[in-house]
Amino acid sequence: MKNKSAVVVGLILVFACISSVCAQDNTGLKAKVKAYYDQISSLYKAKNFEGLMSLMTDDFQVIFYGLDREGARNYLKNLLSSYDEIQATYTPLEITPSGRFIKVRRDEKVMGRSGGGEWKEITNKQMIDYMVQESDALKIARTADIDKSRLSYINGSTYTDEEGRFSFVVPDGWDIIPGVHPGMKGMVLALAPDRVSIAMMGYVKTPGITAQQAAEGDEGVGKAMSKAETYKLYKSGPINFRSYEGFEIESRFNIPNAQDRHRRRVYFKAHGSLYVLCFDAIPYTQWDTVKDGFQQILDSIIVKD
């Protein structure tokens, strides 16, 4: 009996010690993350272009849109040349481990002015960053805008949009990000464990336009922007999604300043809306790794009548 009691007490002490260590580690991580964003603010104030670029990984990506390090370089050059002074404020809100990454949800506010005039708001939004540690330094590897008003739609691995009348479930290890898209409602992302391949779903009102017309129109834009030697059409044709008529296209393309990707489009019309699903393996060589996860998400989708 004494031995059993000793084991129980020992386990309690072990868990207490683990909790204490985790708390200390978390406190240290929070301080490190805060210092990272403070450094970004200082570099913006100094308009230190190379310093800002040094805080991104070589494989940096804007999630879903695929803007890479070269695209970010062009954006930063343009931003820094547009204003005499820039102020950037970052507030980390949530810091969690995410595989080999550190996931940070944060507020961002960037202001600019020229000639001593009034400050102009450039951005004021909430974002998610996926950071990695390289040597002793943190760097941003992935980033995405988020719609904080829809964070409550996430319940574990399930996402439910009552207004959009749809829900889906992601496989283990995938992240759900309520995204932002200027022309689409309810845009939401399911981020694969590699934290770059992505499933996207949203909807838009398109009276008089069929799923086929929309899918082929979007594919045409992608093909026109893609490098001619890269574009490849794998399949294209009508499908039935649940009880809805739809259209499917699968292709490979590569648009400027974004990684070469393999995309499966599934578009369908339901109760007056066009639902748009894009499953992107980035780079295209990741397709075989993520296609089963994409199919699980597609199979889990429920559209309410």
Domain boundaries, the chain: 2-145, 148-303
Cα distance between residue 294 and residue 229, in whole Å: 26
In this prediction, residue 12 carries a pLDDT of 41
The CATH class that applies to domain 148-303 reads: alpha beta
Mean pLDDT of each 10-residue bin along the chain, 305 residues long: 44 39 64 95 97 95 86 94 97 92 96 96 97 92 96 97 96 96 94 94 93 96 90 96 94 84 96 94 95 98 91
Name the nearest CA neighbour of 183 among 200, 158, 198, 199: 200
In this prediction, residue 305 carries a pLDDT of 79
Contacts of 132 (CB under 8 A, 6+ apart): 57, 100, 101, 102, 138, 139, 141
Could you check whether 2-145 and 148-303 share the same CATH topology? no
Topology of domain 2-145, per CATH?
A: Nuclear Transport Factor 2; Chain: A, (3.10.450)
Q: Which residues pair with 5 in a beta bridge?
A: none
pLDDT of 99: 83
